[in-house]
Chain A
Amino acid sequence: MKQKKIYIQAAEQISIQSPLSEQWMEEPVFYDEASLVKAQNPSFRDYMAANEARRMGNIMKRALVTTLKVLGETGIENPDAIITGTSLGSLDYTERFLDSIIENDEQTVSPTYFMQSTHNTVGSALAIYTKTHGYNTTYSHGGTSFDLTLLDAWMQMQLGKISTALVGGHDEMTEQFFGLLQKVGYVDVDGMVPCGEVAMSMMLNTSEAVEHLCELAGLRVCFHPSREKLQQQLTEMLDEADMTLADISAVMTGVNGHSENDRLYHDTVQALFPEKPLLHYKHLFGENYTVSALGLYACAHLLKRNEIPSFLYDSKQHVSSLKSVLFLNQTREGNVSMIILKKA
């Protein structure tokens, strides 16, 4: 099967950087002291009625606003598919519902928080709000939740089933859950980036005619791959995209200053990409399960602007001519994904 071309048409974010803009490219905010940073919320009332905003948790409002912005930019009211990635879903409402079960000893519990607590609440709310009846699903697989949304859209585009897809990665963080993550040593380790929050929506389109940020040239998701297996996956993916390793201008990794996490990337880079300039993004966007969505968003905008700000480099070696970026996402549980974005 000849691989179809897929483009990233638009991508918007709400994170610990300035929301709904690429201001982070000129004025990045670094949180040197903090270990937990909440997202910078935009003015939600510019996008929805006050009573609507009141009924939604933060994760949902952010997902909805990034989505509406992307729909506005692309002029696509109803994408063929809405595919959402979230590791913890509506965490805040989940905890509020747990609190109310305990406080009221399972009596007189209000269903409000429960109704928004399932992981697919976000993705289905986007469909309800935009009246989109197409394909709709949600992946919730820790640090690769977002990557799996891209894989799903990519497969259905290759099969000719859909031509547009709204994909996204969304996770919020609460003080209480952060406390647990501290105890297990997942966050707030010496030298590590802060824990952040993630909302990113992106439109994929198979039409070459539309203006776009870049091309999604290929992707692979694997689990505990051996070095040989990973090499084989990379070669296959490059072949299918009609590319060679020489066409990869840089590799963006998810190093975050946590030694257990960073070792995974160093091993892969050394084995597969020893000569490549390296980029990183978690020092800008923080750590959270679906933060790969923000890394990929950043790559897409770098390719569009044809520039890489110096603070994104994680190697002495810089890119001479920017053609494509290989995005690498690895989790401590053993999930690995490789995604190639290419200048269109």
Chain B
Amino acid sequence: MEPIYITGAGVVSAIGRGKEETLTSLLAGKTGIGKMKYLTSCHNDLPVGEVPFSNEEMAQKLGIADSMFHTRSALMGRLALREALNEAGLKGDALREAHFISATTVGGMDRREAYYELEKTCDHNYAVIATHNCGTCTEMIAEAFGEFASLSTASTACSSATNAIITGANMLRCGLAEIVVVGGTECLTKFHLNGFNALMILDAQQCRPFDRDRAGLNLGEGAAYLVMETEASMKKRGAKPLCVLSGYGNACDAFHQTASSPDGEGAYLAMQEALQLAGMKPEDIQYINAHGTGTPNNDESESHAIQRVFGNHLPPVSSTKSFTGHTTSASGSIEAVFCILALQHQFLPQNINWKNPIEGGIIPVIDQKPQGEIRHILSNAFGFGGNDSSIILSKCEA
């Protein structure tokens, strides 16, 4: 396919606001997962990866006077989007021509659950908050930046943001857009914390992706957005590329609502398709940013899928979820930003907390220093229901 250029990126997660803080944490191997501070839940002994600001603090950073109507997902989303648009120098007429595709699954659930018990007797204002849907979250983020050409919301659980990237790429490739802004946002909610807890896939300790003794995931939150454009648009605007999106794939595991198949068929197909579209062979990839949630099921299934695709050409693999927790709908774009940083600064994000190999499994990255140049990175995101997606990001040729 024709290369798609990424000219701006913004991120907020438990390891920092903005790419600079994020890079520092990644290089220092410093996790953002810790004690629950902002979410209210009686499961406050579970470690989580929270964005280190209250809603009021985020509203203040954004210059919003009244934060009552703003969901946490929307506030985080705006912080990340602002960074991405600034970096890409996207404003005015160019911004009005850009299409915005944002991903979320919990949407406004943080607000609905907060007032849920009052719903039957609530007033108009609370009802407005309670009827927020996923699309409202996107609209709420977009409205602060002026008018986009179109809005769209992808919602495929934990692969949502990657699917937003894919939809945006398709818009560029078929000529419907010259610039798209894509990514996702998701805050922690009592709703999905209890859901994952009931499924018994939350680790009571810090999560340990790809470790023999891994016992589940930690939930996290955050947002990240990318500005993607065609070569013609980038040249016309005089924008500078951070990296290139050179391939992507989406497939369905079609196995179970909340579990991955033992051989990782969906993951296998998504990675194969991404390689094929990029015109690459397994040996062209120098690093895989795995979905690697830390659940026994995901890491085993994903390991098999990766081994099936890469065989004897297995590049370094790591999961960065032990830094941020599983940021669910936002994880695809947050980890895409990590990959961009890895390409720009030529380092391998470590798989912190890893100690013991899974028998026959993948031994993840322990040393940050790459063997040779990192030119192409494959990043995975898998969702409930087997909604599996992969993207390939590449270094810009000098």
Contact = CB atoms under 8 A, between A and B. Distances in A.
Contact of A102 (B117, B122, B128): B117
B86 interface: no
Q: Which of B42, B120, B130, B197 has the most CB of A within 10 A?
A: B130
A139 interface: yes
Contacts, number: 210
B110 to A, nearest CB: 12
Contacts of B117: 102
Nearest to A88: B133
Contact of B167 (A105, A127, A137): A137
B136 interface: yes
A165 interface: no
B266 to A, nearest CB: 7
Given A139-B153, A140-B155, A181-B131, A133 B174 contact: no
Contacts of B122: 180, 183
Contact of A141 (B153, B157, B176, B383): B153
A48 B155 CA distance: 27
B70 interface: no
Interface in A73-123: 82, 87-89, 94, 97-98, 101-102, 105-107, 109-111, 114-121, 123
Interface in B106-160: 107, 112-113, 116-117, 119-120, 122-124, 127-128, 130-131, 133-136, 138-139, 142, 147-157
Interface stretch (A8-16, A150-158, A191-199): A150-158
B254 A141 contact: no
B252 A124 contact: yes
Contact of B255 (A119, A128, A181, A183): A128
B148 A132 contact: no
B98 to A, nearest CB: 11
Interface residues of A, number: 68
Contact of B154 (A118, A139, A177): A139
Chain A binding surface SS class:
mixed
Contacts of A155: 170-171, 173-174, 176
Interface stretch (A62-70, A216-224, A256-264, A278-286): A216-224
18 contacts: A88-B133, A106-B43, A111-B199, A115-B199, A116-B257, A124-B383, A131-B254, A132-B254, A133-B252, A134-B251, A136-B156, A136-B385, A136-B387, A137-B250, A138-B387, A140-B154, A186-B131, A333-B139
Interface of B: 41-43, 100, 105, 107, 112-113, 116-117, 119-120, 122-124, 127-128, 130-131, 133-136, 138-139, 142, 147-157, 163, 166-167, 170-171, 173-176, 190-192, 194-195, 197-199, 250-258, 265-266, 269, 383-387
Interface of A: 1, 82, 87-89, 94, 97-98, 101-102, 105-107, 109-111, 114-121, 123-125, 127-128, 130-145, 148, 151-152, 155-156, 158-159, 176-177, 179-181, 183-184, 186, 221-224, 289, 333-335
The 9 closest A-B pairs by CB, nearest first: A124-B385, A114-B195, A142-B135, A183-B127, A111-B198, A141-B135, A140-B155, A136-B252, A140-B134
